[in-house]
Amino acid sequence: MRRSAVRHGSILTAAATVLAVGAAAPPTATAPHHPAPAKVPAAAGWGGAVASVDADASAAGIEVLRKGGNAVDAAVAVAAALGVTEPYSAGIGGGGYFVHYDAKTRTVHTIDGRETAPASADARLFVENGKPIPFEEGMTSGRGVGTPGTPATWRTALDAWGSKPLRKLLEPAERLARDGFTVDTTFRAQTAANEARFRDFPASSQLFLPGGQLPAVGSVFKNPDLARTYEKLGREGVGALYRGPLARDIVNTVRHPPVRAGAGRVVRSGDLTERDLAAYETIRRRPTQVSYRGLDVYGMAPSSSGGTSVGEALNILESTDLSRASQAGYLHRFIEASRIAFADRGRWVGDPAFEDVPVRGLLSQRYADSRACLIRDDAALTSPLAPGDPRHPAGGCTTAGAGAPTTYEGENTTHLTVADKWGNVVAYTLTIESTGGSGITVPGRGFLLNNELTDFSFTPADPAVHDPNLPGPGKRPRSSISPTIVLDRTGRPVLALGSPGGATIITTVLQTLTGVVDRGLPLVDAIAAPRASQRNQATTELEPALWNSPSRPELEAVGHAFRQNPEIGAATGVQRLPDGRWLAAAEPVRRGGGSAMVVRAGR
């Protein structure tokens, strides 16, 4: 295959200029305090780096790194802090996927911490009287709650690679929950979006609507119940969430949702049991891996579709020199590769414990070439595009067969990226699914329960196409989470990144990666660049800057159709610079901007 003129050496050189041409380097991070540390989207220096959506959470990770903790230790501390400051996106009531680079062995490892359905679940979990229940009624219910995987993920990661006890790593988050954090416009807006739901659950209303009102911007928000829950987990271990009084509280909340008397909302119960919680296990999976432009790109294997979809799209794009393409030409190829990858995702990717997922085939260059030949420069493909068969790559180009539309997936999640002074790296995406999850807080415990089971297809997207993502007993719903680590040919990390955004996670990671590798953008600029997202749908989503750009009419002229999306994703990443420093990068604007910090700033 032809190779782009842009190599990883020039990637690093380009990234090194970002602070020189921008604002002065930010100050070194301090421990969490109030008001929160200022948010800055880029920081470069030594001793380790953290990037997340929240300054208090990033500071928690820096605190751990300063005290000698490694990247895994810091990632757990950041995740716990995000459970305080980003409770509508993450927390111990949810799950996620953890990708780790071990500097000693120069290898990448992953943890599947996805939530699981109750043992009683079957394909009719969300079907009543022969019809799927309304999505909104599945979203706000006990029916949509899966067994949380986040605490077990922390235990698995720390047992394998950590150097500090969980008790110490939870201290910054426990302190933040007890003493409070400063409410910003994003937190207030997300609370407002959930206000009607929260008012129907007394525990949620009491916590998130103090005094019956939306929290004011600039006020201090405290969560003493969560502080006590973290203290319990630190003292007893995360097993306290899966067995005992806390597990019983979770199960009672799911099976008997505590709805306000007189609420008109239909809130179905779930069938989660204490046995389901006690049986939960994370899974150490082999990462996905593809070679792209001389780099090795590692991602998350199924049950997430992130690694296979990003990898397949990169393989499709491998044959095109995107560094020389016009902006419209680049976007055309990016959109079509995304469309094809999503067509194959919908047919083939599900929980591998239940489905025969052809991961090797989906990631083979031979299969990608058989799909890439569908792409024409003078005409756009139409959706829903039919899937291919990676077990038997077609000899000629064909779009024959039925294509299933991509089902809805909640867009709120959070991602953190960490590197330490030894060169270890973590890319970790965690979620409770919808913004605010199920909307149901476990009384007296201070955290929201997920509604992750709504990531299952309620019914097949198209009865003519096999759907690998129907519910099943103990099954993990398919995810789009795409934490990604990129290594050079010596096995050393070049960059790591990820994003929230439901199914748009895949396209956000793909666009950011190709922005850096092919378009020569510094990581900060690739994160900030306006985004497009095609997910095997009739129209491609565009952020306003692309909607209003000259590229849109050029693309429409060859058959693309578009709709606006005001905001797609909210990525964070870290990058190794040529002089040995780490660059942390986060969003400058999306979701209120992110927070990049390093242990010791400077050149």
The DSSP annotation for 451-479 comes to -GGGGS-SS-SSTTS--TT---TTPPPPB
What's the CA gap between 480 and 486, in Å, rounded?
18
Considering the candidates 116, 147, 413, 507, report the single residue annotated as catalytic.
413
Report CA torsion sign: 428, 429, 430, 435: positive
Instruction: Give the pLDDT score at 495.
Output: 97
Instruction: Report the phi/psi class of residue 129: left, alpha or beta, with left for phi > 0 and alpha for psi in -120 to 50.
Output: left
Which run of H or E residues covers position 498?
Answer: strand 493-498
In single-letter form, the type of residue at position 297 comes to V
Cβ-contact 509, 497 below 8 angstroms: yes
Cβ-contact 191, 435 below 8 angstroms: no
Instruction: Give the pLDDT score at 464.
Output: 81
Q: How far is CA 38 from the centre of its chain?
A: 24
Q: Which residues contact 122 (CB under 8 A, 6 or more apart)?
A: 471, 472, 473
DSSP 549: S
Task: Report the SS3 class of residue 540.
Answer: strand
Cβ-contact 429, 483 below 8 angstroms: yes
C-alpha atoms less than 13 angstroms from C-alpha of 103 in its C-beta half-sphere: 14
Instruction: Give the pLDDT score at 128.
Output: 95
Instruction: Give the pLDDT score at 407.
Output: 67
3-state helix vs strand vs coil in the chain, percent to 5? 35, 15, 45
Cβ-contact 449, 93 below 8 angstroms: yes
| Active-site residue flag, 413 | yes
What's the CA gap between 295 and 8, in Å, rounded?
7
Q: State the virtual CA torsion across 452, 458, 464, 469 in degrees, nearest 10.
A: 20
In the numeric block, which tokens belong to residue 259?
């709805």
Instruction: Give the pLDDT score at 409.
Output: 61
Strand pairing of 425-431 and 95-102? antiparallel
Helices (H), 318-388: 327-348, 359-362, 365-372
The candidate with the shortest Cα–Cα distance to 86, out of 108, 56, 123, is: 56
H helix count then E strand count, the chain: 21, 20
**Phi, psi dihedrals of residue 89, rounded to the nearest 5°:** -115, -30
How long is the chain?
603
CB atoms within 10 A of CB 61: 37
Which run of H or E residues covers position 246?
Answer: helix 245-255
- Could you report the average pLDDT of every consecutive run of 10 residues in the chain (603 residues)? 34 40 34 67 97 97 98 98 97 98 98 98 96 96 98 98 98 98 96 97 97 96 98 98 98 97 94 98 98 98 98 97 97 98 96 97 96 95 94 73 65 90 98 95 98 95 87 97 97 96 95 97 96 97 98 98 96 96 96 95 77
Instruction: Give the pLDDT score at 24.
Output: 33
In single-letter form, the type of residue at position 534 comes to Q
Asked if omega into 35 is within 30° of 0 (cis), the reply is yes
What's the CA gap between 278 and 239, in Å, rounded?
8
Task: Report the SS3 class of residue 277.
Answer: helix
Q: Which residues contact 149 (CB under 8 A, 6 or more apart)?
A: 94, 95, 96, 112, 113, 114, 115, 116, 280, 282
Query: Angle at Cα 514 formed by Cα 508 and Cα 520, nearest 5°?
Result: 125
